[in-house]
Structure 1
Amino acid sequence: MDQRLYIVTYDISDQGRWRRIFKLMKGYGEWLQLSVFQCRLTPIQHAELIALLDAMIHHSEDHVMLLDLGVADKVVPRVVSLGKADFTPIEHEPVIV
């Protein structure tokens, strides 16, 4: 599976929209901080997430950024993490059907 590692961060002006986006993002990645997620996404998942976010936000009030860190299995993020939580890249886990 061709996955890339993304950091998704957002600034949403309305609390209700923020909650809806937070719930959506929990289905796509690992929550790092208040409005920051780490996601391993295939090209299809990436396109789907962008379409869903694009439909949810108010373009004149909100802002969403998806930072592409590279091929998920090959990227070695260089991150400085201070405080209570360390940054650990999401590992590829097998899916049992």
Structure 2
Amino acid sequence: MIEERLYIVTYDIADEKRWRRVFKLMNGYGRWLQLSVFQCRLTARRRVELARRLEEIIRADADHVLILDLGPAEKVDPRVESLGKNFAPVKRTAVVI
């Protein structure tokens, strides 16, 4: 079985058009938590692919993306205090293409 790791990806994009492109890209990689925050379960290959695709969209002199590695997805039990809407960690699911 391929090991997945749990990541939090957060971003601050200066331009609205680039922000929308990043948001659309991130929807294909994880679960949207807040305005510019996603929770992702990724293999090493998908993590590298995501970073490469983000670098193609953002401007290094104006934008900022953080990719936080929380560890092996199956072993991480995120302790999150959520005020307001409920928080749910990303579960492993099958995707049929």
* TM-score above 0.5: yes
Number of equivalenced pairs: 96
Partner Cα separation in structure 2 for residue 11 and residue 95 of structure 1: 29
**Letter aligned with residue 90 of structure 2:** I
TM-score by length of 2: 0.94
TM-score by length of 1: 0.94
Structure 1: tracts of 5 or more residues without a match: none
Structure 2: tracts of 5 or more residues without a match: none
- Report deviation, 1:11: 0.2
Which residue does 1:94 correspond to in 2? 94
Partner Cα separation in structure 2 for residue 21 and residue 45 of structure 1: 16
Counterpart of 1:55 in 2: which secondary structure?
A: helix
**Letter aligned with residue 93 of structure 1:** T
Q: State how 1:75-86 maps to structure 2 within 5 Å.
A: 75-83=76-84, 85-86=85-86
Q: CA RMSD in A?
A: 1.1
Q: State how 1:13-52 maps to structure 2 within 5 Å.
A: 13-52=14-53
- Report deviation, 1:95: 3.8
Q: Percent identity?
A: 58
Which residue does 1:61 correspond to in 2? 62
